[in-house]
Amino acid sequence: MKRIRRQICALCAFLCALSLLTMLVFSLSVSANGARWLNRAQNTRIQEARKTTVQGTLYDSALTPLAYSARAGEREYISDRAARLSLSHVIGDQKGMSETGAEIRFATTLLGMTDKTGTDKTLQSLMGDDPVGYDIVLTVNAELNKYVASLFPEGARGACVIINYKTGEILCKVSLPAFDPARMDAPVEDTAYYDRATQFRYAPGSVFKIVTLSAALEAIPGVLEEKFNCDGEWDFAGSVIRCAGGTAHGEITLKEAFAKSCNITFASLAYKMGAERLRAEAEKFGFNTEFQFDDVIMYASRCLNTSDSEGDLIQAGFGQGTTDVTPLHMAMISGAIANGGVMMEPRLVKEVRRHSGLVISKTQAKEYITCVDPELANTVAYYMYETVKSGTGSRANISGYTDGFICGKTGSAETSSDKNSQTNAWYTGFLYRDEAHPYAIAVIVEQGGAGGSVAAPIAAKALKKAIDLGL
C-alpha cells in the first residue's frame, strides 16, 4: 500500500512539474511573440478598431507623413509615388500582404490599443470625437530611400540597408521589386510583398569572408604572418574551387587574399579550422539564431549545420554552399566590426507621440551581442579599408570624403551550378571613425554580376547621400 502511495505521489509531482513547465513555456512564448501575434492582419480586434478609430500617422525621421488618416476607416499615403514605392516594405499595407511593414507590425499603437489607462479614449469620447491612435516617428528617411531605390538598374531585384551602427537605427531599407500601398489592386510580381532586406536569405559569397577572417584571426596562431598560394583553382574531393575568373593570385598574405577576394585561401582557412570552429564564430555574429527584435521581423541566417559535409565546410569559407544571410543581418555584421565588435539591435521606431505632438516614448539604443573583441574588430576593419583602398572594393570610394575611413567587402555569390547565370552582386561596409556619420551598409543586386562593379558603386552613392542629408 505504501508503495502504491509513493507511486501516486511521484506521479502527481511529475504532473505538477509538467504543468508548471508548460505554463513557463507558454509565458515565455507570449512574452517573446505576443506583440507579433496581436499585430496580425487577421486579428479581428484590429479590423474592427480601424472602422471606429482614426489611425495615427506614420512619419519618417524628417517628420514627412508616410501614412495618415483624416477619419476612421480611411488611410492615405505619401503622395510622392517614387518615395512611396521605395518605402513600401517599411510602411506595409492595411491588408497585411506585407507582414513585416509598420502598418501591421505597429497596428495596435497606431490604433491607440496600447493605452493602458484609457485616458485618451475617454476624453475623446466625452468630446464626441472618434478615438485617435498614436503617431509613430520612424528612423528611416524618405528622401534617402527614394534616392537609393533609383540607383538600382531598372527592373532589378535586390535590397539595400543602411544602419547607424552606434544606435541600431535603420536609416534606409529598400527592397525591390516593390508594391504600392496606395494601389493594392494594382498587379505586382509574385515576390513583391516579401521584404528582401529581412525575409530573403541569400548566399553571401565573399562578404562572408569577414566572418571567416575573424575566425582565422582567433583560431590560427601566426595566421597574420602566414603566406598562402593560389593557383586559381583547387580540386577538393572531386569538387573544383575557383577564384573569380580563374585568377591565380600566386603567393599572397592574408591581407592580400582578403583584399583580392581569394576564394582558395579562405576555403583552405575553413578546412584548417574545421566546421565546429567556423560555425561557432558565425554564431557569435548571430547565425543560426532565431532573432526576436522589438521593431523588426528578420529571418534567421544559417551557417554549417551538424550534418553538413567537408565540401560544405570548404564552400562556407567563402560564403557558398549551405550558408545564407539576409541583407539587414549583413549590414549588422559590418556595423559590429565598425563598433568595436558590438552588434546593436536594429531599430525602426524613433519615438511614439500623442496626436497633439506630445512625445510619450523614445527608443533607446540596445546592445544585441558582442561578436569579437575591439582589437580583432580593428584588424578586420583595417583589412576592409585595404579592400576599398586597393582591392576589389575600390569603386566604393566616395569622392571628397575625408571625415573617416571607408571600409568594405565585395561579393559575387553563385546562385546555381549553371555558369551562364549571373552571380548576385554584394557589397557591405561602413564609414569608420567618423562620429558624425556612423553608417554601415549592405547592398545586393540579384544576378547583377560582380559585386565590385555593380553593388559597390551603389553603396558609395547611397552613403554619400546619407552624409549630405546629415542623418
Summarised one tens digit per residue, pLDDT across range 82-109 is: 999 999 999 999 988 988 899 999 999 9
Q: Over range 253-267, report the average pLDDT.
A: 95
Instruction: Provide the pLDDT for residue 33.
Output: 46
Instruction: Provide the pLDDT for residue 240.
Output: 85
Residue 247: CB atoms within 10 A of its CB come to 16
Instruction: Please determine, for residue 464, whether its predicted confidence score (pLDDT) is greater than 60.
Output: yes
Instruction: Provide the pLDDT for residue 287.
Output: 98
Q: Over range 48-61, report the average pLDDT.
A: 93
Q: Over range 149-171, report the average pLDDT.
A: 97
Please tell me the least confidently modeled range out of 23-37, 179-193, 384-398, 403-417.
Answer: 23-37
Q: How many domains does the chain have?
A: 1
Instruction: Provide the pLDDT for residue 12.
Output: 57
Instruction: Provide the pLDDT for residue 88.
Output: 97
Instruction: Provide the pLDDT for residue 42.
Output: 52
Q: Over range 24-44, report the average pLDDT.
A: 47
The answer to whether residue 462 is domain-embedded is: yes
The answer to whether residue 214 is domain-embedded is: yes
User: Using only C-alpha atoms, what is the Rg of the chain?
Assistant: 25
The answer to whether residue 390 is domain-embedded is: yes
Confidence of residue 34 (pLDDT cuts 50, 70, 90): very low
The answer to whether residue 380 is domain-embedded is: yes
Confidence of residue 421 (pLDDT cuts 50, 70, 90): confident
The answer to whether residue 355 is domain-embedded is: no
pLDDT of 355-401, one tens digit each? 889 999 999 999 999 999 999 999 999 999 999 999 999 999 999 99
Instruction: Provide the pLDDT for residue 24.
Output: 45
pLDDT of 288-298, one tens digit each? 999 999 999 99
Instruction: Please determine, for residue 439, whether its predicted confidence score (pLDDT) is greater than 70.
Output: yes
pLDDT of 269-278, one tens digit each? 999 999 999 9
The answer to whether residue 77 is domain-embedded is: no
Instruction: Please determine, for residue 71, whether its predicted confidence score (pLDDT) is greater than 60.
Output: yes
pLDDT of 192-204, one tens digit each? 999 999 999 999 9
Instruction: Provide the pLDDT for residue 450.
Output: 94
Domain range for 246 is: 205-348+364-469
The answer to whether residue 252 is domain-embedded is: yes
Instruction: Provide the pLDDT for residue 23.
Output: 46
Mean of pLDDT over the chain: 89
Please tell me the least confidently modeled range out of 82-86, 303-307, 445-449.
Answer: 303-307
Indicate the pTM of the whole model.
Answer: 0.89
Residue 120: CB atoms within 10 A of its CB come to 18
Q: Over range 122-135, report the average pLDDT.
A: 66
Q: Which residue has the higher pLDDT, 187 or 39?
A: 187
Return the CATH number at 418: 3.40.710.10
CA atoms of 209 and 221, how far apart (whole Å): 18
The answer to whether residue 382 is domain-embedded is: yes
Determine phi and psi for 253, rounding to 5 degrees: -85, 170
**Cell numbers 504543468 label which residue?**
19
Q: Which residue has the higher pLDDT, 61 or 4?
A: 61
